[in-house]
């Protein structure tokens, strides 16, 4: 029997693979999954990170001094120990999940790319997660290097850094001449027919073939297209699609059952606060 992915498939797995997160955020989410005792990790003092000219709300981050001596911060050692426990439980629960599928390959500078772009209004952080997840999966399926260009209202790298997958745009030269580009957007400020066409292409056609003539795919979206991409019968024999569906059965392909496999990011003390402020900045622009 053909297995189709649930519409919320892989959301918690992919983002932690792409990003590193804060100690406190990961403690809350992962302990919920794995029943590990919680503590509040107070990383240290903060300094101004980013101030959008149209917003009175500031981004915040930990001081450089705290980052340099993070191992001495009370609670950090216990966080690291809990992460080891979570990793063990993760492996036990999903022993068939091949994490190597999500690692950065040895890409060349002239490789094909899929770039998630947010250089203007893209919604809040919750909306952007859906777009990021969809773009990352499409990059895996089409065998393109995934990168992120998100500088609105501030550079996303001030809050998040690569984890298993290096998505930083500056690591590959893509802004050069003689590279063909396809710009796709399903944002609310674009005509509806563009979103309809994109939805049809990823759910009914072979994107690997239809995008093969382009070096760079530039995608702006805040929608979840994962269930459409994995449920596309035309792509059922795609190596990545087949591997993902073979590794995990239908009942596990939900946000409720998949663990949030987060890692600590030393520079940020509370990712939830960061993106609450992020969303506040968006609403004030």
CB 202 within 8 A of CB 210: no
If you average pLDDT over residues 144-161, what whole number do you get?
Answer: 80
DSSP line for the chain: ------TTTTHHHHHHHHEEB-HHHHHHHHHHHH-PPP-------EEEEEE-TT-SPEEEEE-HHHHHTGGGSTTHHHHHHHHHHHHHHHHHHTTT--GGGGS-----TT--EEEEEESS----HHHHHHHHHHHHHHHHHTT-EEEEEE-SSS-GGGT-EESSS--BGGGS--SSTT--EEEEE--TTS-HHHHHHHHHHHHHS-HHHHTTT-SEEEEE--S--HHHHHT-GGGTT-HHHHHHHHHS-GGG-STTTS-----B-TT-S-HHHHHHHHHHHHHH-
Dmax (CA) of the chain: 56
Q: Is the pTM of this model over 0.85?
A: no
- Under the banding of pLDDT at 50, 70 and 90, the label for residue 113 is very high
If you average pLDDT over residues 183-201, what whole number do you get?
Answer: 80
- Under the banding of pLDDT at 50, 70 and 90, the label for residue 212 is very high
| pLDDT at residue 132, as a whole number | 83
| pLDDT at residue 124, as a whole number | 76
How many angstroms separate the Cα of 25 from the Cα of each of 152, 154, 206, 273? Answer: 23, 21, 38, 9
- Per-residue pLDDT at 177 exceeds 50: yes
Candidate ranges 89-98, 148-157, 158-167, 194-203; pick with highest mean pLDDT: 194-203
| pLDDT at residue 106, as a whole number | 81
CB 154 within 8 A of CB 59: yes
Query: Which residue's entry shows tokens 């850094």?
Result: 161
Record the tokens describing residue 130, joined without a space.
């859906």
- Per-residue pLDDT at 221 exceeds 50: yes
If you average pLDDT over residues 10-23, what whole number do you get?
Answer: 48
How many angstroms separate the Cα of 103 from the Cα of each of 82, 100, 140, 217, 228? Answer: 23, 5, 10, 20, 23
| The pairing of beta strand 58-62 with beta strand 46-51 | antiparallel
Question: Residues for the chain: how many in total?
Answer: 285
Record the tokens describing residue 100, joined without a space.
């190597």
* Of the candidates 262, 261, 263, the residue with the CA atom closest to the CA atom of residue 97: 261
| pLDDT at residue 89, as a whole number | 63
- Per-residue pLDDT at 218 exceeds 90: yes
- Per-residue pLDDT at 181 exceeds 70: yes
Candidate ranges 90-104, 233-247, 256-270; pick with highest mean pLDDT: 233-247
* Of the candidates 247, 245, 208, 246, the residue with the CA atom closest to the CA atom of residue 227: 245
- Under the banding of pLDDT at 50, 70 and 90, the label for residue 95 is low
Q: What is the average pLDDT score of the chain?
A: 64
Record the tokens describing residue 135, joined without a space.
């773009």
How many angstroms separate the Cα of 29 from the Cα of each of 22, 26, 80, 139, 190? Answer: 11, 5, 15, 26, 35
- Per-residue pLDDT at 168 exceeds 70: yes
* 252/210 Cα distance (integer angstroms): 31
């Amino acid at each position: 029997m053909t297995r189709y992915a649930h519409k919320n498939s892989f959301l918690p797995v992919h983002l932690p693979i792409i990003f590193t997160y804060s100690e406190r955020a990961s403690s809350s989410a992962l302990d919920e999954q794995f029943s590990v005792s919680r503590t509040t990790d107070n990383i240290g003092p903060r300094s101004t990170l980013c101030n959008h000219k149209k917003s009175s709300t500031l981004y915040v981050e930990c001081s450089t001094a705290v980052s340099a001596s993070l191992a001495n911060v009370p609670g950090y050692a216990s966080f690291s120990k809990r992460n080891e426990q979570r990793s063990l439980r993760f492996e036990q629960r999903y022993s068939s999940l091949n994490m190597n599928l999500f690692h950065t390959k040895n890409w060349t500078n002239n490789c094909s790319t899929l770039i998630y772009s947010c250089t203007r209004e893209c919604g809040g952080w919750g909306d952007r997660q859906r777009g990021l997840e969809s773009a990352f999966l499409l990059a895996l399926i089409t065998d393109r290097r995934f990168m992120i260009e998100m500088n609105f209202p501030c550079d996303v790298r001030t809050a998040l850094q690569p984890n298993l997958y290096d998505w930083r745009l500056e690591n590959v030269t893509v802004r050069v001449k003689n590279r063909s580009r396809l710009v796709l957007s399903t944002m609310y400020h674009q005509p509806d027919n563009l979103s309809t066409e994109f939805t049809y292409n990823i759910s009914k056609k072979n994107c690997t073939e239809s995008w093969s003539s382009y070096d760079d795919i530039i995608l702006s979206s805040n929608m979840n297209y994962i269930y459409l991409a994995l449920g596309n019968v035309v792509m059922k024999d795609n190596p990545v699609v087949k591997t993902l569906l073979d590794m995990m059965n239908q009942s596990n392909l939900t946000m409720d059952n998949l663990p949030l496999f987060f890692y600590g990011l030393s520079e940020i003390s509370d990712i939830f606060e960061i993106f609450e402020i992020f969303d506040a900045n968006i609403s004030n622009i």
